[in-house]
Copies of this chain bind each other. A is one copy, B any other.
Amino acid sequence: MDEPEWLNAEELTAWKALAEVLFLLPAALESQLQRDADLAMADYMVLVMLSERDDHCMRMSELAASASTSQSRLSRIVARLEAAEFVTREMAPDDRRAVLATLTESGLAKLVAAAPGHVAQVRRLVFDRLTPAQVLSLTDIARALAHPDDHAACDGPPR
């Protein structure tokens, strides 16, 4: 393995600031949603994903992938949401292994009630603090960082 290149001064200051954001921002979003809508971020994401479908319906595995969560976690989340009557679960007609989760009326109502507060929090914590130019810059940067696994194999020797 290489001599591990330490971070230089600019990188270190950038990293400290980024680490703080990585740590505190999700917590701040989570806590707003929990307090105002009694939903976890993951619950909210699931409701959003379902709401974006025309039929408000998705297979568990697909839902897990779009909400970036594991199947087992999703299974428990949906069980919770089902208990709260925000979604229903039914066997898929074409493949009887699969389960279709469907957003209910009250689930949609819950989402509609929760979304404005969440968006306001995003605005307050992110966009109110950035200039339009920074927003564009952030988009590029975030996109560059957005796929941690992609370059996993690039550590190896060049072919």
Contact = CB atoms under 8 A, between A and B. Distances in A.
A6 B138 contact: no
A129 to B, nearest CB: 4
A155 B21 contact: no
Q: How many copies does the complex hold?
A: 2
B148 A25 contact: yes
A73 to B, nearest CB: 12
A26 interface: yes
A88 to B, nearest CB: 26
B120 A18 contact: no
Nearest to A149: B28
B25 A145 contact: yes
A131 to B, nearest CB: 9
Given A126-B15, A134-B137, A141-B141, A146 B7 contact: no
